[in-house]
Structure 1
Amino acid sequence: MNCLSNISRQFKKPLFNESIIFYFRRHINNSCEESKRIYELFVAEQKRQKEAVGRIEKIDVFYEGPPENVKLVMNKNLSTPYDCAKHLGSTVLNRAVVGLLNHETLWHMHRPLPDSCTLELLHYHLPNPASVNKSFWRSCSFILGAVILNAFKDNVRVNLHSFPSPNVKTGSFVYDVQLSLDDWKPTTSELKVLSIEMIKFCQQEHHIKCLNVEKELALDIFSTNPHKTQQIPDIAAHNSDKITLFKVGTHIDISRGPMVPNTSHLGRVTVTNVIKLDTDIPGDPIYRFQGVALPKAIVLNHFSYSLLEERARNLNSGRIPGVQEVDTEDSSLVTRVAHQS
């Protein structure tokens, strides 16, 4: 990936102050080695689980939706809603955001189906897209974390903490991060660089994959992140000792899901603000990174989008992390569709 300092030349004013310099790492270092270790653990477990399926059994998936209702014969614990969508044509495949099983259970598009079921594929233009919007917002936070983790010079310690459950009404998606910077206030140009890098990352069209793992493996994967290791036992206790991980590119994180199937779903993206939070978490300060985005399928004029950007600069009202708080983005991939009034 290109050095961010190269991007800075397009701006008339200096991009960086003396206290902080953004750049994407181009050489092997401790952080890259740690990312590689985490990625390899995820991939190895993914391969192990696929091989453990054993004899392939067939299931019936009754698809309901355009262009027509149809029965698909798929492979138990291997085929996903995304695989089903491939049989339905490119229009259905490209617009599908999240699956809905048996009219009640949201299902990540890349998660294998465990049994015969009815399947609907939800998209952005539904009359009531609340569940789709939450999946999109959650994905934005997840991808923002991936960008932040690689955005700082090596002498700045970066520990991802968590992101609150998605709430579109707050006006921004969020990721809370611990940084070894006492009082950082990003310049407009620095925020532009973060926005550009998030857009570039999404344009690489990474599939967003998921995997349920044992608590012990999750603790090993996040052994160098004190916040994740603290959150894992509580999450596992509410999910049969399992932790749900998501992968985008080489980045791995914890979330209950579901998310969008591919980063190409993100269209306009702006990282709008970074705000230092008042928390009782010991050590380096916690900063709230905030942004706003639109799905590629949604068109909005420049003036209307600028109003969204302005709103997203205000402090997001989502829960503030603290010593007594445990991440509420629990590890269950299956989440019931919320009752809509």
Structure 2
Amino acid sequence: MNSVLIFRTKPTLLVSSFRLTESLCKRLSNRSDVSEEIIRQNNLFDIEFKKQKEAIGRIEKIEVRYEGPSETATLAMNKHISTPYDCARHLGEKIAEQSAVALLNNDTLWHMHKPLPDTCKLQFLHYKVAQPSSVNKIFWRTCSFVLGAVASNSFKDDVKVQLHSFPSPNVRSGSFVYDVQLSLENWQPTQNELKVLSIEMIKFCQKNHAIHCMDVSQELALDLFRNNTHKYQQIPNIAANHNGKVTLFRAGHHIDISRGPMVANTSHFGRITVANVIKLETDIPGGPIYRFQGVALPRSIVMNHFAYSLLEERARQLNPARIPGTLENFDEDNSFVAQVTA
């Protein structure tokens, strides 16, 4: 079976050695070019980001009361400009680097790079908090987001790739997921191809991309995703359930839709494995839908090889999240997993 991943020139024979696979990956996947579509999307994102900043007008001060495990502090910050990450840097670089997500007023999880809307109480959650379920879900959601970025850019040019959606995070399912439409009828990835995907995800995360977010109008979201049939169809339903707004996240050049929040930076990722890609039975037109599945650990979590291999084995099993179809507006908010973990 010929490899469908990454090869922009005539492929050489893949070998089983991980070291040789890694070397092969570096030789064949070093893409310096960015597609016109990605450039267009990022230009729209940048223009809107600048527009929203300029619309703030007169700067208003807000009081942010930080409540840490051993200390408290009151910070004077800028309304609709300052982010939890800005607050964390005032308190120390270690807090900024370790914090996965902010908690506002004891009840609202808040993305670290999302501007604060008003005076508030602020806490920072990391991966070793006493009750980590919320942080785990946020990390899992970010894993799906990054997996979408990798799936978008890891195939040679004659394979059409369209991201469909990913379900709400559920660590108990055993894997994070992204459902992707490929112009491949019966692809069954080899272990070497899965290794290449894993390496590409690791390389993406090692670039330490800050993950930014922005709420935009339905009209802008439709323009940004006008060349993705699935997301274009999903956007009106998402906007209708979120006061006419769609939340975008960006890491590097990759832009996607999610309710969020996500972790602050791809540097938070430690061990990563793309464990399986499974063709789904679905009635969506345009080509087969494949479920990309993976498992990962935050960088701060250490696990021995045997225990991690058990996680990898479980992640190879088909994730039970709802399979997308034509008769539903499928997105992260209305997936099966979202319903059972709400």
The answer to whether the aligner puts 1:181 opposite 2:184 as a matched pair is yes
Cα distance between partner residues in 1 of 2:255 and 2:136: 22
1:275-305 CA-to-partner distances (Å, cap 9, x unmatched) read 0000111120000000000000100000000
The answer to whether the aligner puts 1:141 opposite 2:144 as a matched pair is yes
Using the size of structure 2 for normalisation, the TM-score is 0.90
Q: Residue in 2 aligned with 1:169?
A: 172
1:82-134 CA-to-partner distances (Å, cap 9, x unmatched) read 00000111221111011111100010000000000000101111111111000
2:277 partner SS:
strand
Identity of aligned residues (%): 62
CA contact (8 A) 2:14 2:192 kept: no
Q: Residue in 1 aligned with 2:250?
A: 247
Q: How far off is 1:3 after superposition?
A: 7.3
Cα distance between partner residues in 1 of 2:264 and 2:234: 25
Q: How far off is 1:5 after superposition?
A: 8.6
The answer to whether the aligner puts 1:274 opposite 2:277 as a matched pair is yes
Cα distance between partner residues in 1 of 2:78 and 2:10: 48
| 2:49 aligned to which of 46, 49, 52 | 46
Cα distance between partner residues in 1 of 2:139 and 2:306: 22
Q: How far off is 1:327 after superposition?
A: 2.7
| 1:236 aligned to which of 223, 234, 239 | 239
2:137 partner SS:
helix
Cα distance between partner residues in 2 of 1:275 and 1:133: 24
| 2:72 aligned to which of 49, 69, 73 | 69
Q: How far off is 1:66 after superposition?
A: 3.7
Q: Residue in 2 aligned with 1:19?
A: none
Cα distance between partner residues in 1 of 2:272 and 2:8: 20
Structure 2 spans left out of the alignment, 5+ residues = 1-5, 22-26
Q: Residue in 2 aligned with 1:152?
A: 155
The answer to whether the aligner puts 1:26 opposite 2:31 as a matched pair is yes
Q: Residue in 1 aligned with 2:126?
A: 123
CA contact (8 A) 1:133 1:168 kept: yes
Cα distance between partner residues in 2 of 1:330 and 1:111: 20
1:305 partner SS:
helix
Cα distance between partner residues in 2 of 1:212 and 1:50: 12
Cα distance between partner residues in 2 of 1:112 and 1:10: 48
Change (3 A) 1:27 1:90: closer
Structure 1 spans left out of the alignment, 5+ residues = 17-21
Change (3 A) 1:157 1:2: closer
Cα distance between partner residues in 2 of 1:12 and 1:169: 31
CA contact (8 A) 2:60 2:79 kept: yes
Cα distance between partner residues in 2 of 1:5 and 1:148: 21
The answer to whether the aligner puts 1:217 opposite 2:215 as a matched pair is no
Q: Residue in 1 aligned with 2:84?
A: 81
1:197-254 CA-to-partner distances (Å, cap 9, x unmatched) read 1001100000000000000000000000000011000000011110000001011000
Q: Residue in 2 aligned with 1:297?
A: 300
